[in-house]
């Protein structure tokens, strides 16, 4: 059966580099949302725990509950308010007055500040009212954060947003002192932000996602940081045949054999989350072998008769081929695929 390998040495290499940039392991929050960017939530959480990380961020409550035993804190980024009482180390991102008001009294929160992304978050002129709600509902404000919209772009917007966040931090610190609140953990840098900055300042940690998985989102003109992709996708052979000259293979018969050739069918298709290729152009595997014809829901054809084939071990080339971003290649992969740590 098709499977995914996860390279532990590569992951630890990446986390080591990121920890140095941040100022220590304690200054990293592993972003494990959406099944750990397709790598496998529980298995990646266990590896991050083994490395020594204490914090993680996930998409929803179900993801948080599945890994809460491994971290001091798990931050839920984009979920609705839960109906049940959750573990003490699960916190919620509060992006609006409505979210703050709907949370149960005493819930753990990280307040989201809109510094220019304009996707969600409390605006600067809403900070005072947000803090009033937090105090009234006795919400436990563990952190305050923002999200950069262009940290990976070759422009200065990163520094503009950082300056707005610094201004918001000053107002929140003053209000926290006024209300007698405990120390708040501020955080702003994503992978790109961490890789392009010299210091986190007084931020408590950085939230690292794509860089942890081995991809540098920055423009090549920035100082290069050698990261190593963690995930590789493997397909296993289902059958082999000789395709005679002039015969066609697959849906639509778009591939015609130019000569007698050996082809094999492998057990990955678009139903497994791989991008559907149309067969007009060939897709190269990690070893250089190329696809023959269209991808089906559960299989595809390839020249040769190898028992196993690595479809990719670096998603960058595939992302360019399918005109998308590196993030999308692993994130689409089916959770049902077996994942093996090597």
Q: Which residues pair with 312 in a beta bridge?
A: 233
| Cβ–Cβ < 8 Å for 26, 204 | no
Q: Which of 21, 27, 33, 54 is catalytic?
A: 33
Return the H-helix or E-strand segment holding 281: none
Match 């994503």 to its residue by tokens.
190
Report the alpha-carbon distance of residue 212 to residue 30 in Å, rounded: 8
- Other CB atoms closer than 10 Å to residue 254's CB: what's the count? 14
Report the alpha-carbon distance of residue 170 to residue 191 in Å, rounded: 24
Return the H-helix or E-strand segment holding 292: none
33 a catalytic residue: yes
Parallel, antiparallel, or unpaired for β 140-145 and 185-187? parallel
- Other CB atoms closer than 10 Å to residue 320's CB: what's the count? 11
244 a catalytic residue: no
Helices (H) and strands (E) in the chain, counts: 10, 16
Rounded to the nearest 5°, which phi and psi values hold at 172?
-70, -40
Report the alpha-carbon distance of residue 183 to residue 84 in Å, rounded: 27
Q: Which residues pair with 111 in a beta bridge?
A: 94, 144
DSSP string of 3-48, one letter each residue: EEEE-HHHHHHHHHHHHHHHTSGGGEEEE-HHHHHTT-HHHHHHHH
Q: Which of 97, 179, 244, 251 is catalytic?
A: 251
Three-state SS at 254: coil
- Of 337, 341, 316, the residue nearest 268 (C-alpha): 337
Report the alpha-carbon distance of residue 46 to residue 49 in Å, rounded: 5
Q: Which residues are annotated as catalytic? A: 33, 251
């Amino acid at each position: 059966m098709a499977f995914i390998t996860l390279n532990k040495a590569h992951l630890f290499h990446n986390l080591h580099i990121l920890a140095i940039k941040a100022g220590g392991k304690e200054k990293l929050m592993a972003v494990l949302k959406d099944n750990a960017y397709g790598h496998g939530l529980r298995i990646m959480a266990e590896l991050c725990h083994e490395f020594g990380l204490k914090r993680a961020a996930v998409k929803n409550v179900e993801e948080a509950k599945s890994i809460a035993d491994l971290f001091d804190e798990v931050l839920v980024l984009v979920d609705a308010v839960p109906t049940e009482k959750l573990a003490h180390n699960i916190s919620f991102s509060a992006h609006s007055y409505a979210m703050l008001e709907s949370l149960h009294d005493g819930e753990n929160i990280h307040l989201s500040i809109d510094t220019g992304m304009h996707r969600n978050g409390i605006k600067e002129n809403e900070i005072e009212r947000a803090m009033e709600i937090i105090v009234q509902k006795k919400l436990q404000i563990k952190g305050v954060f923002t999200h950069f919209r262009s940290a990976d772009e070759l422009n200065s917007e990163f520094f503009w947003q950082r300056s707005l966040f610094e201004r918001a931090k000053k107002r929140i610190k003053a209000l926290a002192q006024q209300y007698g609140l405990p120390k708040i953990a501020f955080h702003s840098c994503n992978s790109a932000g961490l890789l392009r900055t010299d210091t986190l300042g007084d931020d408590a940690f950085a939230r690292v996602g794509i860089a942890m998985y081995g991809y540098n989102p920055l423009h090549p003109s920035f100082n290069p940081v050698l990261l190593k992709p963690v995930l590789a996708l493997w397909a296993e052979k289902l059958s082999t045949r000789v395709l005679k000259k002039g015969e066609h293979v697959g849906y639509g018969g778009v591939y015609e054999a130019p000569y007698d050739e050996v082809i094999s069918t492998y057990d990955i298709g678009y139903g497994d989350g791989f991008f559907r290729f149309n067969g007009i152009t060939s897709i190269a595997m990690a070893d250089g072998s190329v696809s023959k014809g269209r991808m089906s829901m559960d299989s595809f054809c390839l020249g040769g008769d190898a028992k196993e084939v690595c479809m990719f071990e670096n998603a960058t080339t595939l992302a360019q081929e399918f005109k998308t971003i590196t993030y999308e290649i692993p994130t689409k992969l089916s959770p049902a695929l077996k994942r093996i740590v090597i």
